[in-house]
C-alpha cells in the first residue's frame, strides 16, 4: 500500500492455497506447527522491507486462503516469537482455513458448509483432527471465538443436503463446491455489502444464495435443517444474488434481501424485514 507520493504505508503477506499435489503433504504437518521454520526467510525479508520504509508490525496484514489460511493461523499462534515477535501486532485474516487459532489478533472467515473451513480446528496434530471427524471424514461443525460459524453458502449441494450422502464430507467431491466458491465467487462481498450488515455479528446466521441457474427458479433459499447446521430456527439473514432468487424466511425474525434480479420473497411467521 502506498500514499500519493509512492511511499509505502502498508504491507501484506498472502500465503497461497493448495496449488500442487505436493502441498497435500503439508496438511499432515500443519497442525503440529512443523511448517513454522519455512516461513522465516520470507518474514525476515518483509520485516527488512518494513523497517526500511519506517514501518512496524502494525502496518502489516497477514492473510491467506485454504492452506494459506492455515499458514496464517499458524503464524498467528507463534507471532510472539517468530522473527523476534515483529508480527505480533499485525492484523491476521484467515479465509477457509482448516486450522483455527483462538486469539484476538485473528479473524477467520469461511462458510459453515465448506469442508475445509475449521476442519482441523485447534488440534495440534493431524491424527487428533482426524479422530474428531466421523468415519466419512465429515467436517465437525464446531464454534470458535475467532471464526464465522454460521455463514452458509446455499449452493446446489446444500440444497440437496437431505438426500446427498456426506454433504460435509471431505470424501464427497460435490461437498467441495463451497470451498471453490469461496475463492472464486462473490458471496462474501454480497454479505458485506448487505444493507443489513450493520446488524450482523461474527456468528450471525447468514445464508447467501449460491444456486446455479437450474435450481434458482425452483428452490427456496432459506435457513434449513442441514447436517452442518446447529442454528436451524434461529433468526437469520437471507441474501440473494444479482439474478432472480426465491428467498424464504424461517420460524424466527428474519431479514431478507433480494439484491438484483426479479426475486420472489415468501414470509410465514415472525417479524420479518
- Looking at the annotation, which residues are catalytic? 66
The strand pairing partners of 73, in sequence order, are none
Tell me which long-range contacts 268-271 makes (C-beta under 8 A, separation of at least 24).
270/235
Helix (H, G, I), strand (E, B) or coil at 183: helix
The strand pairing partners of 65, in sequence order, are 95
Q: Sort strands 264-266 and 236-239 into parallel, antiparallel or unpaired.
A: unpaired
Instruction: Measure the CA–CA gap between 35 and 193, rounded to whole angstroms.
Output: 36
Instruction: Measure the CA–CA gap between 168 and 64, rounded to whole angstroms.
Output: 22
Helix (H, G, I), strand (E, B) or coil at 204: coil
Question: Cα 258 from chain centroid?
Answer: 22
Angle of helix 67-78 relative to helix 36-52, nearest 10 degrees, comes to 70
Instruction: Measure the CA–CA gap between 116 and 240, rounded to whole angstroms.
Output: 24
Amino acid at each position: 500500500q502506498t500514499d500519493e507520493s509512492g511511499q509505502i504505508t502498508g504491507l501484506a503477506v498472502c500465503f497461497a492455497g493448495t496449488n500442487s499435489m505436493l502441498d497435500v503433504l503439508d496438511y499432515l504437518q500443519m497442525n503440529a506447527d512443523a511448517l513454522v521454520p519455512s516461513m522465516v526467510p520470507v518474514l525476515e525479508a518483509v520485516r527488512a522491507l518494513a523497517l526500511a520504509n519506517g514501518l512496524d508490525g502494525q502496518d502489516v496484514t497477514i492473510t491467506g486462503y485454504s492452506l494459506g489460511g492455515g499458514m496464517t493461523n499458524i503464524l498467528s499462534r507463534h507471532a510472539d516469537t517468530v522473527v523476534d515477535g515483529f508480527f505480533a501486532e499485525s492484523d491476521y485474516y484467515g479465509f477457509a482455513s482448516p486450522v483455527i487459532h483462538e486469539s484476538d489478533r485473528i479473524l477467520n472467515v469461511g462458510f459453515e458448509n465448506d469442508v475445509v473451513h475449521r476442519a482441523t480446528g485447534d488440534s495440534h496434530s493431524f491424527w487428533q483432527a482426524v479422530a474428531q471427524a466421523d468415519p466419512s471424514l465429515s467436517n465437525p461443525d464446531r464454534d470458535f471465538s475467532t471464526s464465522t460459524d454460521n455463514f452458509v453458502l446455499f449452493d446446489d449441494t446444500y440444497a440437496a443436503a437431505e438426500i446427498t450422502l456426506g454433504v460435509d464430507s471431505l470424501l464427497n467431491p460435490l461437498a467441495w463446491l463451497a470451498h471453490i466458491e469461496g475463492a472464486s465467487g462473490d458471496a462474501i462481498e454480497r454479505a458485506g455489502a448487505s444493507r443489513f450488515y450493520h446488524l450482523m455479528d461474527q456468528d450471525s446466521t447468514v445464508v447467501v444464495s449460491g444456486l446455479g441457474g437450474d435450481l434458482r427458479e425452483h428452490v427456496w433459499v432459506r435457513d434449513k435443517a442441514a447436517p452442518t447446521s446447529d442454528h436451524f430456527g434461529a433468526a437469520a439473514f437471507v441474501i440473494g444474488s444479482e439474478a432472480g432468487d426465491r428467498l424464504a424466511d424461517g420460524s424466527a425474525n428474519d431479514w431478507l434481501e433480494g439484491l438484483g434480479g426479479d426475486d420472489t420473497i415468501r414470509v410465514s411467521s415472525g417479524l420479518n424485514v
